[in-house]
Structure 1
Amino acid sequence: MLAYRKSLCYNLQGSTWKKRIFREKSHVLTYRPVPDLVVCKNDTHGRKQNHGGKKMSVISMKQLLEAGVHFGHQTRRWNPKMAPYIYTERNGIYIIDLQKSVGKVDEAYKAMSDIAAEGGTILFVGTKKQAQDAIKSEAERCGMFYVNERWLGGMLTNFKTIQSRIARLKEIETMAADGTFEVLPKKEVIALKKEWEKLEKNLGGIKEMKKIPDAIFIVDPKKERICVQEAHTLGITLIGIADTNCDPEELDYVIPGNDDAIRAVKLIVSKMADAVIEANQGAEALEEVAEEAAVAEEAEA
């Protein structure tokens, strides 16, 4: 039986992202062209469109490539279950198949959108340094909850106890607002402020969460293994980014990608937040948010 080797070639020319699939048999090289995909300048979602104008994805191959989503871990640090999402190995590093990442982002986007459209709540979780800022800012942007500092054991499976700590946090906030701090001894105020800071750090992102979330979006399930275990125990839908060292079977919706690069994490988390905004406020609201973000980026530049 003749063996075939399949490879991909990507070329960026102007605004056109060309993709062709090559097959090699012996010394004969043939190719089957795939319709060119164009990143439409007027598409604020960064979605790809073909020449017929049909929307193909909520994220483009170009965006993923520029953010470094394709870089995996060293080959010695991998989980064999991620093999279907690995394209090749280069200089001892696994390269993630971005074709599959694009499709998986679409699936996760739809899942997030459907849950939000039905009035469900979503908890964004990412306690590693590279994910903390993106998790907080994007969760706040779409009006959902987040944990970005430390996952407390029992945060879901022992939610009643967590609620009592949240009540304590709100109690201290009230004391600070109504002037109680001014009449208490200085030493006691210092202790209260220290307690307040600790509670806010760990529970600030969920202090308005009245019940267990309907879904969790997670960055790096290996890092957040306790969260994953609790979600499995309670049957909560798990959506997340999995690098080449993770077990994709732990997630209901897996997005193969680099979970160690700030830009890569920010890009994917922002798309998940977009899904919630679109579900709750409509596509027009999402376009307005995208335009505001573009203006802000130009101002910073």
Structure 2
Amino acid sequence: MSEEKNDTVQTEKKIEIKLPTAEQLIEAGVHFGHKMSRWNPKMEPYIFGAKNAVHIIDLAKTLTKLKEAVDFVTDIVAKGGLIILIGTKPPVKKIIKEAAQSVGMPYVNRRWIGGALTNFKTIGKRLEYFRDLEKKMAEGELKKYTKKEQLGFQRKLEEMEKIFGGIKNLTKLPEAIFAADLKENQLAVKEAKKSGVKVIAIADTNISPELVDFLIPANDDAASSVKIIVDTIVEAIKEAKNH
């Protein structure tokens, strides 16, 4: 496995993003793939070798692909674009939520909402209703209703927060989605492709990367691995917004 020195990505607008080193990726466990018996042959170009019947991901390839993803992210965010961050597995739910909130991006860390992209016209109306109801609740406009009716509104808000909380401020289709686990988030990825939304995704050795525009080969099971990738993407978003 070749090691690379710490690198930066520079866009046309001179936004420089510091990338993790190969050593930092190793420390985070990014290089550990799945058991050889579970591999997908289409990930072969990103596999360095195997140890104890477990595939080892080529971190030189990971860094190259991470550069491409970061370059794309800085470009679209600098133009005001949105990226939905998605991570629904228990180890990464908190990572995704905190990352998205830190840069004001929408996120999904529960089950993907079917039609969120392919049927956004309908979903968008529900989000608009959610925002309107939340505003009325905050401004005391619902106090004119009976206590029973107010309780009903409160329950409705709580229910919608669980389902739509991370994307409630979405008023248009995003420019891209970032999936922390390609295999786990296949529905979101397929919807993105149908809707013309670009896909950035972490892909382990057990999944076909065919539907992904910007693939980042990495361990998608370890929270430390996902976090170091997510942190880099978030840094790109932050710098692009501040530029």
Aligned partner of 1:204 in structure 2 is 165
1-structure distance, mates of 2:150, 2:53: 54
Aligned residue number for residue 130 of structure 1: 91
Structure-to-structure mapping, 1:1-301, within 5 angstroms: 8=1, 19=3, 37=5, 47=7, 58-180=19-141, 182=143, 184-282=145-243
Aligned-pair CA distance for 1:188: 3.5
* Equivalent residue letter for 1:191: G
Which structure has the bigger radius of gyration?
1
Query: Secondary structure at the residue paired with 1:124?
Result: strand
Where is the strand percentage greater, Structure 1 or Structure 2?
Answer: 1
User: How many aligned positions are there?
Assistant: 236
The match for 2:11 is none
What code does the residue aligned with 2:161 have?
E
**Uncovered stretches (5+) of structure 2, i.e. residues with no partner:** 9-15
Instruction: After superposition, give the CA deviation of every residue in 1:221-271 in whole Å (9 maximum; x if it has no partner).
Output: 221111111111112111110011121121111000011111111110111
Q: Deviations over 1:142-173 (max 9, x none)?
A: 22211111211110111111112112222331
| Native 8 Å contact 2:31 2:56 kept in 1 | yes
SS in 1 for 2:33: strand
CA distance in 2, matches of 1:148, 1:229: 17
Query: Partner amino acid for 1:222?
Result: K
Cα distance in 2, alignment partners of residues 188 and 63 from structure 1: 54
Check conservation: 1:57, 1:103, Cα contact below 8 A. no
Q: TM-score, normalised by structure 2?
A: 0.88
Q: In the superposition, relative to structure 1, how do residues 281 and 187 fare at CA in structure 2: closer, same or farther (>3 Å)?
A: same
Give the secondary structure class of the aligned counterpart of 1:99. Answer: helix
Q: Percent identity?
A: 44
Q: TM-score, normalised by structure 1?
A: 0.72
Report the Cα distance in structure 2 between the residues aligned to 1:156 and 1:267, rounded to whole angstroms: 27
Q: Are the equivalent residues in 1 in contact too, given 2:124–2:172 (CA < 8 A)? A: no
Unaligned runs of 5+ in 1: 1-7, 10-18, 20-35, 40-46, 49-54, 283-301
Cα RMSD for the two superposed structures: 2.2
Q: CA deviation at 1:183?
A: 5.1
Name the counterpart of 1:286: none
- Offset, 1:91: 1.9
- Closer/same/farther in 2, CA of residues 56 and 230 from structure 1, 3 Å limit: closer
Q: Is the 8 A contact 2:46 2:57 kept in 1?
A: yes
Superimposed CA distance per residue, residues 5-33 of structure 1 (whole angstroms, 9 cap, x where no aligned partner)? xxx47xxxxxxxxx5xxxxxxxxxxxxxx
Deviation, structure 1 residue 131: 2.0
CA contact (8 A) 2:127 2:170 kept: no
